[in-house]
Amino acid sequence: DGGITQSPKYLFRKEGQNVTLSCEQNLNHDAMYWYRQDPGQGLRLIYYSQIVNDFQKGDIAEGYSVSREKKESFPLTVTSAQKNPTAFYLCASMTGSKTDTQYFGPGTRLTVL
């Protein structure tokens, strides 16, 4: 089955701890994206990567970091610098062609206690 996987589905962490969210795709897509979703806020772009070993900040990158060492993987680290990390995090991928669209993973709900 081709698709995007995110793990875990639910994640709990204590305040002040860094946490890494996993995103893997086997669609052979070039571009990958991380969004944050809060109730009534829609989706806000955190980071994106259009090619391996390269990534750019989105609208709300502060307190987050990413890496793109492999085409299939785009992990997101939520650092202790992120003031309000409790949210639903969505990963997406796209081939990079303008005629294509973004495909989303199932999401990870992070709760910081």
Which residues sit at the interface with another protein, rule CB under 8 A?
4, 6, 31, 33, 40-43, 45, 48, 50, 58, 90, 92, 94, 96, 98-107, 109
Output 73 or 102, the one with its CB closest to another protein.
102
Minimal distance in Å, beta carbon 33 to another protein? 8
DSSP-assigned beta bridge partners for residue 36: 44, 89
Q: For residues 79 and 73, what is the distance between their CA atoms, to the nearest angstrom?
A: 19
Closer by beta carbon to another protein, 21 or else 31: 31
Closest to another protein by CB, 41 vs 84, is 41
Nearest to 38 by CA among 111, 99, 95: 111
CB of 93 to another protein, least distance (A): 10
HSE of 106, CA atoms in CB hemisphere, 13 A: 7
Q: Output the CA angle 45-14-21, nearest 5 degrees.
A: 35
